[in-house]
């Protein structure tokens, strides 16, 4: 992936030297570095799929990278011979190689110029096939097909849905330029949804993955927009006198919780996603911000300094008294509830270091997941197994992921730019 980036950078340099104006967006590709692997990884062999060598190798390369990056699998050398899903499997051979699972498959060109991908997953220990799938795709969709294959394998072997087909949103800051970008969960296919000379913060996905709400400072003050990814069109969701910020979607996608200062202070309100019908959610004399709905829509978690220091509270979404959630330390902010509603990721300050923490909401037990010191903006993967967040390495903003047990760690960075404000998108329907 680094190589890909360098080549792109050189191309753009050449274009610049030739006096061509290179298109701004596509350059900033994220590159992944694995900084911590899981402890109990299942050994799996992904054979080269039969068919056109270049096409099938491109596909299986993506599948292997997906499985390895998940931290749940270690890759077993599959040998060089392509193996179709129709080929007989010699279980003893694969046991000897140390594989607990095996994937075989094929990619064949269809008469209309597309590709048919078929694969089968085997449990080597039980000597039994676990199932497979078939996809028809254009050559441009082959990478997405590979992610679908990985999703199937991951879910069959771990019991948890895979997130390889999901996307992430984030903000790239280079000199004098801010870009809201969308990329595949593995950092590939970065596209720019919005470019601005002024800051963009707090992107958040609509529950159906079709829109992003975010805060843009392009009008010299924070204004909340809702942006359609398919059309590139957007509308103002909150632009009242004062500041408008911290958008959060209701689980039904119809409303946004936002923070407005129009009536004094930073206070939470609900607006319809089209910007109509603003109503106040709560009253406090201090700061209330960073609202987030619980997945069942019953609660709104938020950050408030009403007790003297920033702490996390929750109120019933229908209105009612606030209940304090965090008590340890004097700076706990940015609550994010896991998709199953059972735990909360947030940022805690410990001895001057800002770190990703995870709280079991039933027991209130808390675990610090990172050893960095400038963590911000945690966001759960839709399967709840991984958290993406922003941090700093060598003075530069990067994204990082950590598994909820703290063992699997990766960083995603862009050369010569700061990356921040990650938001993990929902499952693709």
Partner 1 sequence: MRKLLFAAAASLILAACGSQPPAPEQTGAKVTDTTQSAVQPGAQTQAVSPDQLDMTSLAALKDPRSILSKRSVFFDFNQYVIKDEYKPLLEAHARFLIANPKMKMLIQGNTDERGSREYNVALGQKRADAVKKTLLLLGVKEAQLESVSLGEEKPRNPGHDEAAWAENRRDDMLYSGEY
Q: By the criterion CB under 8 A, which residues form the site for partner 1?
A: 199, 201-202, 215, 217, 220-222, 241-243, 245-246, 259, 261, 264-266, 287-290, 303, 310, 331, 333-334, 347, 349, 354, 376-377, 395, 420-421
| Least CB distance to partner 1 at residue 337 (A) | 16
Complex with partner 1: residue 114 or 396, whichever CB lies closer: 396
Complex with partner 1: residue 190 or 200, whichever CB lies closer: 200
What end-to-end distance do the CA atoms of the chain give, in Å?
Answer: 28
Residue 34's DSSP bridge partners are: 410
Report the distance separating Cα 413 and Cα 426, nearest Å. Answer: 22
Q: Which two tokens stand for residue 389?
A: 């967040």
Report the distance separating Cα 156 and Cα 121, nearest Å. Answer: 9
| Least CB distance to partner 1 at residue 224 (A) | 11
| Least CB distance to partner 1 at residue 410 (A) | 22
Complex with partner 1: residue 100 or 290, whichever CB lies closer: 290
In Å, how far are 48, 97, 126 from 79, measured between CA atoms?
8, 10, 22
Complex with partner 1: residue 103 or 268, whichever CB lies closer: 268
| Least CB distance to partner 1 at residue 78 (A) | 45
Element (H, E) at 392: strand 386-393
Q: Which two tokens stand for residue 256?
A: 């946004």
Contact 350, 368 (CB under 8 A): yes
Contact 139, 362 (CB under 8 A): no
Matching residue, tokens 């909360």: 344
Complex with partner 1: residue 106 or 366, whichever CB lies closer: 366
Q: Which two tokens stand for residue 83?
A: 């193996």
Complex with partner 1: residue 146 or 271, whichever CB lies closer: 271
The residues, any chain, with a CB within 8 Å of residue 299's CB and separated by 6 or more, are 293, 314, 315, 316, 317, 337
Complex with partner 1: residue 149 or 215, whichever CB lies closer: 215
Q: Which two tokens stand for residue 172?
A: 């790239």
| Least CB distance to partner 1 at residue 415 (A) | 19
Report the distance separating Cα 187 and Cα 399, nearest Å. Answer: 10
Q: Which two tokens stand for residue 102?
A: 């095996």
Rg of the chain in Å (alpha carbons): 23
Matching residue, tokens 């209130």: 364
Report the distance separating Cα 359 and Cα 332, nearest Å. Answer: 11
| Least CB distance to partner 1 at residue 249 (A) | 15
| Least CB distance to partner 1 at residue 305 (A) | 8
In Å, how far are 10, 46, 275, 418, 421 from 244, measured between CA atoms?
41, 49, 12, 24, 17
DSSP letter for each residue of 152-218? HHHHHHHSS---TT-EEEEEEEETTEEEEEEEETTS-S-EEEEEESS-EEEEEE-TTSSEEEEEE-T
What's the chain's length in residues?
A: 429
| Least CB distance to partner 1 at residue 198 (A) | 8
| Least CB distance to partner 1 at residue 399 (A) | 14
Q: Which two tokens stand for residue 144?
A: 């997405």
| Least CB distance to partner 1 at residue 203 (A) | 11
| Least CB distance to partner 1 at residue 261 (A) | 5
Q: Which two tokens stand for residue 336?
A: 């994010």
Complex with partner 1: residue 65 or 271, whichever CB lies closer: 271
């Amino acid at each position: 992936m680094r190589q890909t980036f360098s080549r792109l950078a050189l191309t753009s340099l050449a274009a610049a030297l030739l006096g061509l104006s290179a298109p701004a967006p596509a350059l900033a590709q994220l590159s992944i570095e694995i900084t911590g692997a899981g402890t109990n990884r299942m050994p799996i062999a992904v054979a080269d799929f039969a068919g056109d060598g270049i096409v099938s190798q491109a596909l299986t390369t993506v599948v292997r990278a997906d499985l390895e990056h998940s931290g749940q699998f270690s890759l077993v050398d599959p040998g060089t011979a392509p193996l179709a899903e129709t080929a007989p499997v010699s279980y003893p051979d694969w046991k000897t190689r140390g594989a607990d699972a095996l994937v075989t498959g094929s990619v064949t060109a269809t008469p209309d110029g597309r590709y048919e991908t078929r694969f089968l997953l085997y449990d080597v220990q039980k000597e039994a096939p676990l199932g497979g799938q078939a996809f028809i795709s254009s050559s441009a969709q082959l990478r997405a097909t590979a992610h679908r294959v990985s999703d199937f394998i991951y879910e069959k072997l771990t019991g948890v849905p895979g997130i390889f087909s999901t996307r992430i949103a984030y903000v790239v800051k280079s000199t004098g330029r801010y870009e809201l970008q969308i990329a595949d969960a593995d950092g590939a296919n970065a596209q720019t949804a919005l470019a601005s000379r002024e800051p963009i913060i707090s992107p958040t996905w609509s529950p159906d993955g079709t829109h992003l709400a975010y805060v843009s400072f392009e009008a010299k003050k924070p204004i909340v927009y809702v942006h359609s990814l398919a059309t590139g069109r957007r509308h103002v969701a909150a632009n009242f006198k004062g500041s408008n910020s911290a958008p959060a979607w209701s689980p039904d996608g119809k409303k946004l919780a936002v923070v407005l200062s129009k009536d004094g202070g930073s206070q939470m309100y609900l607006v319809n996603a089209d910007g109509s019908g603003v109503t106040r959610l709560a009253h406090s004399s201090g700061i209330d911000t960073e609202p987030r709905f619980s997945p069942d829509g019953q609660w709104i978690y938020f950050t408030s300094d009403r007790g003297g220091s920033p702490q996390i509270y929750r109120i019933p979404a229908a209105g009612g008294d606030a209940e304090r959630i965090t008590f340890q330390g004097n700076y706990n902010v940015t609550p994010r509830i896991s998709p199953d509603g059972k735990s909360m990721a947030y940022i805690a300050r410990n001895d001057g270091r800002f770190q990703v923490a995870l709280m079991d909401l039933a027991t209130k037990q808390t675990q610090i997941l990172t050893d960095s010191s400038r963590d911000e903006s945690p966001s759960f993967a839709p399967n709840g197994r991984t958290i993406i967040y922003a941090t700093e390495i060598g003075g530069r903003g990067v994204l990082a992921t950590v598994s909820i047990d703290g063992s699997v760690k990766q960083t995603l960075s862009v050369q010569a730019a700061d990356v921040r404000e990650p938001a993990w998108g929902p499952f693709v329907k």
